[in-house]
Amino acid sequence: MTSPNAKVLTRMNTLKQAAGNELLTDAQEAALAAIKDHRKDDAKFINLHGPQHAGKTFLCWVLQQDTDWAYYQALPDNANTPTTIYDHGNPDRRATRKLRNHASINGLATVIYVTERPAEEVYPRVELDPPEEHYSEIASNWADLDLDLETAPSPIQQ
């Protein structure tokens, strides 16, 4: 018997393996450029935020493969690289204070904290607020990867 999540996991694995700059949409490229600019300015924390299904996680996978960033789906007990991405973060003040303590204890130089809403007390912020064309670009990429277009993100999901 196949798990109901099997298709989702297969899709996520396909996207993660294919992650590369050539599959970024214009909106994701702009967000990536802003993140890199803040990194050059020695920002300790960078909050990447945007609506669900906008492609924040995919952007993080590209960043991870492109550089020395470690990617975590949540705040781990410890991190082993000074540049860390924490996806699916809670934007509330209590969580961002925990993030600051965690970074200090683990000696993290830079953290990208990914949330749907802007995180409290985490600056600078980079918003991934894609226009409608963004979703057409994603659908085209999914078609090239032979992924089911009926499950592709759309502006209607927002």
Structure confidence at residue 3 (pLDDT): 67
Q: In this structure, is residue 45 part of a structural domain?
A: yes
Its domain, for residue 103, covers 6-149
> 18 to each of 13, 21, 29, 110, 135, how far by Cα in Å?
8, 10, 16, 25, 17
Q: What is the pLDDT of residues 87-133, one digit of tens each?
A: 999 999 999 999 999 898 888 889 999 999 999 999 999 999 899 89
Q: In this structure, is residue 158 part of a structural domain?
A: no
Nearest partner of 110 among 40, 39, 58, judged by Cα = 39
Q: In this structure, is residue 54 part of a structural domain?
A: yes
Overall number of domains in the chain: 1
How much is the pTM? Answer: 0.90
* Backbone CA torsion sign across 78, 83, 89, 93: positive
Q: In this structure, is residue 134 part of a structural domain?
A: yes
Angstrom distance (rounded) from CA 134 to CA 77: 35
Output the domain CATH number for residue 37: 3.40.50
Q: In this structure, is residue 74 part of a structural domain?
A: yes
Q: What percent of the chain has pLDDT over 70?
A: 95
